[in-house]
Amino acid sequence: MKNKNLNFKNNINPNKIKNGSINKLNKKFEKVFIEVKKEIKNKNETLNVLNNKFKFNFKLKSLDKFKKFNTIAIIGMGGSILGAEAIYNFFQSKIKKKIYFFNDLDENKITNFKKKNILTKVLFIIISKSGNTIETLSNTFALNIIKKNTNNIILISEKNNNLLFLLSKRFNMFYVEHNPFIGGRYSVLSEVGAIPAYLMGINISKLRSKVLECLNLKNKIFLKNSAIKLTQLINSKMNNNLIYLNYAPNLEKFLYWCQQLIAESLGKKGKGLLPMISNCPKDHHSLLQLYLDGPKDKLFYIFSLEQKNKEIINFNKSLKIKNFLNKKKLSTVKHAQKKALIKSLLKNKNMFREFRINSQNEETLGQLFSYFIIETIIVGKMLNINPFNQPAVEGVKSFTNQLLK
């Protein structure tokens, strides 16, 4: 897959796969591809979030009164917050506001936040699809911010008999309905990601403008090749670990978003990949030995981002030192390390994919979100698993509720 914003390449060669199964997977992909396109058009399907006619459950003008806040705190868990974190991380250098994320139960973080901020001057965006997420409710009430007619809270949940929706009615707070057909990990391009992004100053129209490019004819060929090879790989159980080798700090939170997407969507019925984020070149000095010379049970995804970086290594003349690093950009050193790693992976016959991001703009990030959503759903369907549910997680939630009651 290649365009001005993105350049994706595959180096996956699953062995021990009979030719007959490839023909079967080719046919299956075409069937699933048609299903996916139909689901994008259907308002009652998760993938409708990628439709260019998708309508938000809010008006942009209704958010203008919240633009005055220079500090924003987003409270949520999993898919309710990971997308917003990914957007902030990708555009952090151009976002002028202070953004806080409450995505865990961290007593020290709550205490320090209360000490450092006047809570009435902070905009709180509280997101939970169910409206009853324990961690989200715990953080919200630990901050003690729920008050009648407050003007610094946005609540996002399904419109049913859940605590967040009931609070919005009882205390007359600004409320936006969470689309019931869109699960958390697929919600980044819906209200869940769009509202925080808009209030960060991101152009959400551009973010959604090219999300279906991966379905175009040329890109479909890459998508098909990728989906078939990933399906083969997961079915063969040759590689159980997926390592994200990240050479771009601005992509770290996007990869955590990917981690949830892959783990919750494909980790079912004894199948799946364990996705782990490995920041490079730092991890060259801790994990690379294992990656290259340990068990060959890993698939590597290599991510890099082209950035205009002027930081240069400078050996002052007064030091009287000659070294090959002198006058080189830091980005040049990192690029050489990535190329060296790829050469080593090829030499060792490790399977990998390379994802080069050429532009740091809204269209690019929107395409990244949509490509991985569509690829993951297609692979799930080809594996005969439901990529939309999370039955094991629901079991843990139920046990937790029983223990706390």
Is 119 a domain residue? yes
Tell me what pLDDT residue 313 has: 65
Domain membership flag for residue 50: no
The chain-wide mean pLDDT, for the chain, equals 92
Strands 98-102 and 123-127: unpaired
Q: Are residues 344 and 220 in the same domain?
A: yes
Tell which wins on pLDDT, 46 or 21: 46
Cβ within 8 Å of residue 24, ≥6 positions away: none
Whether residue 145 lies inside any domain: the answer is yes
HSE value, Cβ hemisphere, 13 Å, CA-based, for 223: 26
Structure confidence by residue, pLDDT tens digits, 201-217:
999 999 999 999 999 98
Here the CATH number for the domain that contains residue 79 is: 3.40.50.10490
The separation between the first and the last C-alpha atoms of the chain, rounded to the nearest angstrom, is: 51
Q: Are 49 and 74 in contact (CB under 8 A)?
A: no
Q: Decide if pLDDT at 288 tops 80.
A: yes
pLDDT of residue 390: 87
Structure tokens at 288: 């690379």
Burial (0-12, 13-18, 19+ Cβ within 10 Å), 401: exposed
- Predicted pLDDT of residue 224: 96
pLDDT band, very low/low/confident/very high, at 238 (cuts 50, 70, 90): confident
Whether 99 maps to a domain, the answer reads yes
The predicted pLDDT at position 279 comes to 97
Domain of residue 184, residue span: 60-208
Structure tokens at 108: 């020290």
**Polymer length in residues for the chain:** 405
71 and 30 together in one domain: no
- Note whether residue 43 is domain-resident: no
User: Which of 152, 186, 208 is the last residue before a domain boundary?
Assistant: 208
314 found inside a domain: yes
**Do 270 and 165 reside in the same domain of the chain?**
no
108 and 189 together in one domain: yes
Cis peptide before 391 (omega within 30 of 0): no
Three-state DSSP class for residue 399 = helix
Q: How confident is the model at residue 13 (pLDDT cuts 50, 70, 90)?
A: confident
Do both 77 and 125 map to the same domain? Answer: yes
Domain boundary among 163, 183, 208: 208
Let me know if residue 405 belongs to a domain: no
Q: What is the pLDDT of residues 131-157, one digit of tens each?
A: 999 999 999 999 999 999 899 999 999
**What percent of the chain clears pLDDT 90, i.e. is strictly above it?**
81
What lies within 8 Å, CB to CB, of 85 at 6+ separation is 74, 101, 103, 253, 256, 257
Domain end point (choices 208, 230, 258) = 208
202 and 217 assigned to the same domain: no
- The pLDDT tens digits of the residues spanning 344-356 come to 999 999 999 999 9
Burial environment of residue 344 by CB neighbours within 10 A (0 to 12, 13 to 18, 19 or more): middle
Same-domain pairing of 31 and 86: no
The two structure tokens encoding residue 98 = 């202070």
Residues 283, 326 within the same domain: yes
Note whether 90 and 109 are same-domain residues.
Answer: yes
pLDDT at 319: 67
Domain count of the fold of the chain: 2
Contact criterion met (CB below 8 Å) for 112 and 141: no
- Record the tokens describing residue 154, joined without a space: 């946005």
Q: Return the bridge partners of 287, or none.
A: none
Same domain, 150 and 197: yes
CA gap 231, 111 in Å, rounded: 46
Q: Residues 217, 329: one domain?
A: yes
CA distance 224 to 153: 43
Q: Are residues 336 and 236 in the same domain?
A: yes
> For residue 329, is it within any domain?
yes
d(CA 61, CA 46): 26
d(CA 210, CA 92): 22
What is the rounded distance in angstroms from the CA atom of residue 303 to the CA atom of residue 23? Answer: 31
- Cα separation, 31 vs 224, whole angstroms: 11
Whether 315 shows a pLDDT value over 80: the answer reads no
Among 243, 356, 231, CA closest to 292: 243
Alpha carbon distance 252, 244 (integer Å): 9
What is the pLDDT, as a whole number, of residue 325? 66
Q: Residue 177: helix, strand or coil by DSSP?
A: strand
